[in-house]
Amino acid sequence: MDPILELKEKLAKHPELRFSATQTSVTVAAPSTGGFSVSFHVLSQVYVVHFDGWHEHFVVAGQALECFAFAYSGECRLAVRYRGRIPVKWTLEYLNEGRWHADGP
**pLDDT tens string 38-86:** 999 999 889 999 999 999 999 999 999 999 999 999 999 999 999 999 9
Angle between helices 61-70 and 3-12 (to 10 degrees): 30
In sign, the C-alpha dihedral spanning 58, 60, 61, 64 is negative
Task: Please tell me whether the overall predicted TM-score, pTM, comes out greater than 0.85 for this model.
Answer: yes
Beta bridge partners of 58: 47
Which DSSP helix (H) or strand (E) runs through 11?
A: helix 3-12
